[in-house]
Chain A
Amino acid sequence: MDVVVVVVVLFVVVLVISAPLRRARQTDAAWTGELAELEAAREAKYREIRDAELDHRTGKLSDADYEALDSVLRAEAVVILRQLDDVKERAATAPAPASGR
């Protein structure tokens, strides 16, 4: 009984771990990391814009302060969006990552 349990567990482990190795070979594109980082920065900037808006509505920011802050945040978001476009453009023109054995 003990041996059967160990063999079954071992079989399942080998099956689970080796599954990706039995697939076609995959390579990540060089720009993947940069793109993910910029997307995270974009999400954080959007959140900051929404937070500033809520701060304004709840009275933590005056109209003048909010307008000044909002335009700064929008400008920062635009920079991130442009960087994202650049990376996506590079990605579109770059050769596709390797896939196959």
Chain B
Amino acid sequence: MAPVGRTLLILALLIAGYGIFASLYGVRTGRREWVDSGRRAVYSLAGVTTVAWVILEAAFLRSDFSFNVVAAHSSTTTPTFYKLAAPWSSQEGSLLLWVWLMSLWSSLILFLTRHRVREIAPYATAVLLGFGAFFTSLAAFFANPFATSANPPSEGAGLDPLLLHPSMMIHPPMLYSGYTLMTVPFAFAVGALITGRLGSEWLSVTRRFALAGWLFLGVGIVLGARWSYTELGWGGYWAWDPVENAALMPWLCITAFIHSMMIQEKRGMLKVWNVSLVLASGTLAILGTFLVRSGILDSIHAFGASTLGVPFVILLAVMISGGIGLVLWRREQLRSDAQIDSLLSREAAFLFQNLVLVAMVFVIFWVTFFPLISQAITGTKVSVGPPAFRPFIVPLALVLVALAGIGPIIAWRRVTAANLRRNFLIPVLAGISCTVILIAVGGVDDRPFALAMFGLGTFVLASVAQELWRGVGARRAMTHELPPVALVSLVRRNRRRYGGYVVHAGIALLLIGVAASSSFQHSRNVTLMPGQSTSVDGYKIAYVRPTVAATSQKLSFGAVLRVSKGGHPVTTLRTTRGFYPSQDPTQGPIGRFFNGEADSNVGLRAGLTRDIWTVVNPDLTPLQSRISQGDALFTAAIKKTESASLHLPPASAQTAMSQLWQLRDEAIVGIASRYVTHPWPINFLFIVDPLVTWIWLGTLVVILGGLIALWPVPRLVRRRAKAAAPARTAPAPVAPVREPA
């Protein structure tokens, strides 16, 4: 089916080209049928790339090594679950995934808006198909997933062991969905700029897609953090890696847009700012893809150096220069209709929050690209690393959390001193109380930033709780519903507002977790023999016994550890390090099973207050002499058996080789067993980390809030609201019509 896949890629390119022409011709001549045909080109692109994707997945599932990409990224021993995920571990497959997801999201928005935004949509269609054409060209001409080999190998190289993790099944599609969803607001912003329709219409159309992109990208980022925490074996969840930063920048930018677009919707302000944020988010999403594809910055996530850098640089140059040109061209129409009435208003808080978010993006961009900037200026690539981020990001994050608490409890347009007192009293008292209690308990005096984050996080949680409490009270005063029923009704009828508040609470939980785990972490790197123990943060950790396991996939060397505190058992931890067979024949017939790629399986006891985390890093040097002996013996035996096989019937030759492989496997198990029978000192990393679980719980709360905000308003509520509002805005005096809160 590879030729079909290659043909479909060419067909996809032709469809994208036609769609761009049809959309632009239709909108320029005012002929609706051509615009509709252009929109249907997007549906067709989605259909064709879906078929192409199914062909690629089927090749992976069948272990069809005639596909180069399958031979390089899968093997017959790769579990089926991971064969499904293997396509996006490759450069070629991930490009196809990008264009496939982009075409699906584009089809969805163009279908939903087929009777709306009729002036803007054709230009947006052309832009989306432009992205489709770009990525299809890359997949067709630079990194073709359907390239085949005339002499396919009998076995594939297998999937990178680090990617053998459940979150890898959903982390890349989540990130890519986030990136591709961000092209949707970008395309509609370009359409709005070209047509000059810069009011509320394009915002109302793209809001939900911006929110979906924000949610998907955010979930993708946290899944990556979870993978790092449980798979990479260094004990952290965030390393300020360029690829991590590349995902964080558009997420911060679209977060700013989701807030500032409300100011434009309500007040007609910040039009330049909003289109700029959307254009920046779209460009940063492409930049993120570029960083992963090009390998220009060193990252554990990057695909290594490739030839895709130049096309991406050209695309980014077009996006940046085109975006700036369009904004300058429409600068008159982008003037604000109003001004901020007071600095004590929600608009002002949102604006300040936007500035903080953009400042964060600027810092992250500057420090991430500093190696390239330094190389361009001095000729030397200088990496500054994580410490360069903290002095800027930590204070900005504190301001951001404070604003996340202020936003929900401050009113739009104007605030009086009495209202400020009434709304801020309880949350501020809660924040101060938390801070005072923590100071009294002790242990936080030398970590002022963490202490401030705990106080501000409590302030946010209290402000959200107060809002929900008062909302439920207002609802019950009108309807006399039971509190839980009133809460559900309140949230259902005001999903944007209360979904947003829940997100704020989740972010507060998450950042409290980040502050605690990064400021109060205790770690120890120690070498132990079975029976020996060490102490970390009051926990006694004893190395009970070594473990070894040999499967067709890998050799695992591990340890069983017993954790106790004050003489009371706490938990038993099991950690292993797995070695996957290398495909490099120079490693030797035995050595290649001990010297291939390795992954870590951490021993983790997660809890609400703290995680106890450990990883074993076994040094296999004591086995090396036996491995070398085995290599010499089996190299000679293999040569001898192969020569002898030339004079034997094929069935007998195969039997002879099978017996030899069986002996080799027994030798490998025998050598590996010495890890248990003749144990030697093994290196462990132990970490006791408080409140890490809050990061994952906070994320779940954020997802819940995001889904609430994304969920469509029930039709009944929309109808009632539509009926009520015109009545209340009628110029003649009318009886007040009250829409239940």
Interface residues of A (CB under 8 A from B): 2, 5-6, 9-10, 12-13, 16-21, 23-28, 32-33, 36-37, 39-41, 43-55, 57-62, 65, 69, 73-74, 77-78, 81
Report the bound CA distance from A51 to B408 in whole Å. Answer: 12
Interface residues of B (CB under 8 A from A): 1, 3-4, 7-8, 11, 15, 18-19, 22, 30-34, 36-37, 40-41, 43-44, 47-48, 51, 116-120, 195, 197, 199-201, 203-204, 265-266, 409-414, 416, 418-419, 422-423, 467, 470-471, 473-474, 477, 494, 497, 721-722, 725-726, 728-731, 738-739, 741
- Residues of chain A contacted by B36 (CB below 8 angstroms): 20
A17 touches B41 (CB 8 A): yes
B197 touches A33 (CB 8 A): yes
Which of B30, B473, B729 makes the CB contact (< 8 A) with A78? Answer: B729
Report the bound CA distance from A23 to B43 in whole Å. Answer: 18
A69 touches B413 (CB 8 A): yes
With contacts A16-B40, A36-B117, A65-B414 known, is A58 near B15, CB below 8 A?
no
With contacts A2-B1, A17-B18, A32-B118 known, is A43 near B204, CB below 8 A?
yes
A78 touches B731 (CB 8 A): yes
- Residues of chain B contacted by A43 (CB below 8 angstroms): 200, 204
Report the bound CA distance from A15 to B206 in whole Å. Answer: 29
Closest to A54 in B: B741
- Residues of chain B contacted by A49 (CB below 8 angstroms): 725, 728-729
A2 touches B3 (CB 8 A): yes
- Residues of chain B contacted by A61 (CB below 8 angstroms): 411, 419
Report the bound CA distance from A77 to B658 in whole Å. Answer: 84
B48 touches A36 (CB 8 A): no
Report the bound CA distance from A3 to B201 in whole Å. Answer: 45
B201 touches A40 (CB 8 A): yes
With contacts A54-B741, A60-B423 known, is A41 near B40, CB below 8 A?
no
A46 touches B474 (CB 8 A): no
- Residues of chain B contacted by A17 (CB below 8 angstroms): 15, 18-19, 22, 37, 40-41, 44
- Residues of chain A contacted by B11 (CB below 8 angstroms): 6, 9-10, 13
Q: Across chains A and B, which 8 residue pairs bring their CB atoms closest together, nearest first?
A: A26-B32, A20-B36, A46-B725, A77-B729, A57-B474, A33-B119, A40-B201, A40-B200
Q: Report A36 CB to chain B, min CB distance, Å.
A: 5
- Residues of chain A contacted by B725 (CB below 8 angstroms): 45-46, 49-50, 77
B204 touches A16 (CB 8 A): no
Closest to B195 in A: A33
A36 touches B40 (CB 8 A): no
- Residues of chain A contacted by B414 (CB below 8 angstroms): 65, 69
B419 touches A20 (CB 8 A): no
A48 touches B4 (CB 8 A): no
A81 touches B199 (CB 8 A): no
B416 touches A62 (CB 8 A): yes
B44 touches A32 (CB 8 A): no
* Interface-centre pick from A44, A50, A58 (highest chain B CB count, 10 A): A58
Q: Report A58 CB to chain B, min CB distance, Å.
A: 4
Closest to A27 in B: B30
